[in-house]
Amino acid sequence: VVLPEFSKYTHKARLWSLDKAQSLEELREWHNRNIKFVNNYNLTHEDKLPSLEYVLTKKFDGLTINLTYDEQGILIKAATRGTGTVGEDVTLQAKTINSIPLKINNYSTIEIHGEAIMTREAFEKYNSEALVPLKNLRNGAAGALRNLNIKETAKRNLSAFFYDVGYNEGEAFKSYEAMMSFIRAMGFPTDEYFKVCRTLEEVEKEINYIEEVRFQLNYDIDGVVLAINDIKTRELLGNTVKFPRWAIAYKFE
């Protein structure tokens, strides 16, 4: 199937990009702002926020993909991030990723996002047969999803990792851990690395660990994402014009 063009898709909830930190000092400033916020809130409110916990996940270097499932649990749309509000409909392209479930055991409209990636194995296999070899894994993934020729997408043999529910008409999640348990239970491919940290020392240790194993992975990452675990704290912190205040991406050199 070769499509004439991409149609636009308006996401049900905005896909935010993340603020970036390139030093532990910047992470410390962010962490201190969060501590101050939680302490101030708890001083002035009866309902207390829990102590801060950060969930660390790898920052995949591919192409963001947003999947929409209807109230029958059927995949009805896959879209790129685009502007964060409007993306491109890549439903047929996404369906070439075998690990994406076409139906899930969930009966309310929901949007789940993740990252489409190309593994080194898929990249090498493709390049061994391609007339025009791909330059890198990221271009391989992005070029495949944004290809109007579905056969070409399928040839790239993409993979994906899912890590966020952006829109949910069902029961709300209390924590990021609960959200990730749901994503796994629904059969989405997820990365096994998911660490809860309570101190900046723990965060630093994990960042060092990921930086060490980075080049042993069979896909590309360019950093670590830190996100607050408690959803109520996230909602109270809210967003700036551009970024959520409750998450930050630590970028490697």
What is the token pair recorded at 191? 């990365």
> With contact defined as beta carbons under 8 Å apart, do 213 and 219 qualify?
no
> With contact defined as beta carbons under 8 Å apart, do 194 and 57 qualify?
yes
Task: Pick the closest to residue 249 from 33, 57, 96, 2 (CA basis).
Answer: 57
Task: Pick the closest to residue 68 from 56, 57, 79 (CA basis).
Answer: 79
Q: Which helix (H) or strand (E) holds 78?
A: strand 75-80
What is the token pair recorded at 138? 């990221």
d(CA 121, CA 102): 25
Known catalytic membership, residue 59: yes
Catalytic residue among 8, 48, 58, 59: 59
- The CA–CA distances, whole Å, from 98 to 74, 149, 152, 180 equal 15, 17, 15, 20
Q: Chain-centre distance of CA 154, in angstroms?
A: 22
- CB-based contacts of 111, cutoff 8 Å, min separation 6: 11, 12, 13, 66, 67, 68, 69, 165, 166, 167, 168
d(CA 161, CA 188): 8
d(CA 170, CA 243): 25
DSSP 86: E
Residue numbers annotated as active site: 59
